[in-house]
Structure 1
C-alpha cells in the first residue's frame, strides 16, 4: 500500500449499532436520551459525523421505530451541538434461515425483511444529511443470519434516497460490493461525490489485512471519498491504516467496546484517541461545516 496520508480528515462515530453489545458493556447507549448524549459527546470530542442506530429502550435490541429516531434527532437539535447526522438504513434486510436441514421457512427470531420504502421511513420523515446503503448481501457470524440486499432492492433504495436529497454512505463489506456500488453509480443513482465506508474485518466479509484494503482502494474511483474501519481490538490501529491509505476514520461502540485491555470505552474516549492518532500523523480534523462542503451536503437545521 502506497503511503498517501490524509491531510484533512473527518471522523465518523458509530455510537451504538444494533448488535448484542449491551450485555457486555454498560457504556453502550440504548435509550434515545443515551444515544443523543453519546452523539453529542462524540461531536464534542472531534467527530464531525454521528452514525446512528436506535434500540428498543426496553430490550436493548436494534429497532426501526421512526419515533425513536425522531426523539434522538430532536434531543440533538435541542443541544445546539453541531454535527452531521447519519442514520442507518440497514435495518429491514435481516434474514435468519431455519437450520441447515430445513432452511425454509425463515426463523421468526432475527428475521426482519421489509420493502425499500419501509426501510427508509425514518429517512423520509426526518431527512438526515446522510443515510447508509449496505451495498450487498453477506453471511454474518456463525449462525444462519444473512444480511440481505439484492441488486433490485439497492436500486430502489438508492433511487428513493437520491429523490429525498439525502447523501448515501455506501457501505462496502466485501470486494464484490464495490462492483455493485459502481453499477449503481453508472446508472445515475449515486450522486457525486460518492461517499464510501469500507467495513473491514467483519466475518465473513473483507478481512482487514493490508492487501485486501489495497485491493479495494486501488479500485475506488479517484474522486470517491472513503473511510475505512475495522472492529474489536483492530479498530484503533485501523485509524492509522485508513489515514495512511488516504481515507477518513470511523470509530465508536458499534464496532468496538474496549479502550484498552480490560477498560471499557465510551464513544467520546474512542474519538479522542482517534483525534490524537490523526494529529500525530500530521492530519487536521475537519469540523461538520467543512465536511458538508466536502460532501456537498445541505444542512437541514
Structure 2
C-alpha cells in the first residue's frame, strides 16, 4: 500500500456516452469547465479528449484541443494537463467474409506524427500512448491499432518534445512492449503507466488480473489503475493497496451510485472521500509535477 496518491480525472473520452448522460461535456468550453471543476474537487491531473461538435464523437482536431487547453491554462486552477494521443488508430473492417476495404464510417488511420500534431503545438506536461493493438467493442469489426513501430515513432517524438508519456496498458502482453521501449531508451526510466481494467477483450477488472499486471510492472515505474463502469469507485480504494494511483471520470463511468448520474467533480470528490477514510493522502498538481519531474511548457 502507498500512503499518497494523485488523482487523474478522465473528463470526456470519445465514445457514445453523451447519449446516456447530460453531464458528459462536448464543446471545448464544457470540457475545459468540467476539467476545472474536477481540479477544484481534488484532481491533480486532467486527461483530455475532444469531441466533434456535430457528431459529438471523438476528434483529433488541434483547434478543439487548443480551445480546451487555453481555457484551462487561463483559469484560476493549474492542473497537470494530459492529452490523449490515442485518436487516429481506428480501423473498422468490413464484414467478416469481406473485411477489405475497411469501412470508412469507423476508420481513421493516420501516421504517427499526425497523431501528435496537437501535442506538438500545445506541449502538455503528459500525453497518453496506447500500448497495443486490440479488438474493441461488441461489434467485432473494430480494432484499435497501435503497432510496435508506430508506438516507437510516437514515443521518440514525444520524448523530443519534452512531454512525459503515460503508457496505457490494457493487457499483460502490452507490458512486454513497455519493457522493450524502456530498454531501448525510447521511454525514459522510470516509466509512467496506466493500467486500464475491465475493457471488453482486455484485462478483466477482478483483483487477481490486476495483481498479475502489477507483478509485471517494470521496476521503479510509477503507475495508476482504474476500471470502467460500476467498478470505478471501488478501484479508487483498491488502487493504493497495490501501489497504484487513482483515475476516475466520465470517460470511464457515468454513475456516482446506482441510478444516480455523476459529474466529473462528483466522482473526484467521492474518490477523495474514499481515500481520506483510508488514510491515504491526495497529492496536489504541483506535488505531482515534482514527483514526475514534469516540464511545464504552456
TM more than 0.5: yes
User: Cα distance, 1:211 vs. partner?
Assistant: 1.2
> Which residue matches 1:176?
173
Give the TM-score normalised by structure 2: 0.98
1:38 to 30, 34, 40: 34
Partner of 2:200: 203
> C-alpha deviations, 1:24-53, integer Å up to 9, x for none?
001000000000001000000000000000
Deviates more, 1:212-221 or 1:243-252: 212-221
Q: What is aligned with 2:272?
A: 275
Stretch of structure 1 that moved more, 221-230 or 25-34: 221-230
**Among residues 198, 218, 221, which one is paired with 1:224 in the alignment?**
221
Counterpart of 2:74 in structure 1 is: 78
Q: Secondary structure at the match of 1:116?
A: coil
Asked if 2 retains the 8 angstrom alpha-carbon contact of 1:87 and 1:130, the reply is yes
Partner Cα distance (1:210, 1:93) in 2: 30
- Residues 1:240 and 2:237 aligned together: yes
Matched, 1:87 2:83: yes
Question: Which residue number in structure 2 is paired with residue 153 of structure 1?
Answer: 150
Q: Tell me, yes or no, if structure 1 residue 108 matches structure 2 residue 108.
A: no
Q: How many residues align?
A: 297
Where does residue 121 of structure 2 map in the other structure? 125
1:73-114 superposed Cα distances (whole Å, 9 cap, x missing partner):
111111121100000000000001001111111100110000
186-195 vs 127-136, greater mean Cα deviation: 186-195
Counterpart Cα distance in 1 of 2:181 and 2:201: 23
Deviation at 1:210, TM superposition (A): 1.2
For 1:169 and 1:49, locate their aligned partners in 2 and report how far apart those are by CA, in whole Å: 12
Q: Distance in 2 between matches of 1:27 and 1:270?
A: 12
Determine if the alignment matches structure 1 residue 97 to structure 2 residue 75. Answer: no
Q: Look up the match of 2:293.
A: 296
Structure 1: runs of 5 or more not aligned: none
Q: SS state of the match for residue 30, structure 1? A: coil
What TM-score results when the alignment is normalised by the length of structure 1?
Answer: 0.97
When the two chains are superposed, the root-mean-square deviation of aligned CA atoms in Å is 0.8
State the SS of the aligned residue for 1:59.
coil
Which ranges in structure 2 are unaligned for 5 or more consecutive residues?
Answer: none
1:20 and 2:10 are equivalent in the alignment: no
- The CA distance in 2 between the partners of 1:72 and 1:221, in whole Å, is 33
Describe the SS at the equivalent of 1:22.
helix
- Maintained 8 Å contact 1:193/1:296: no
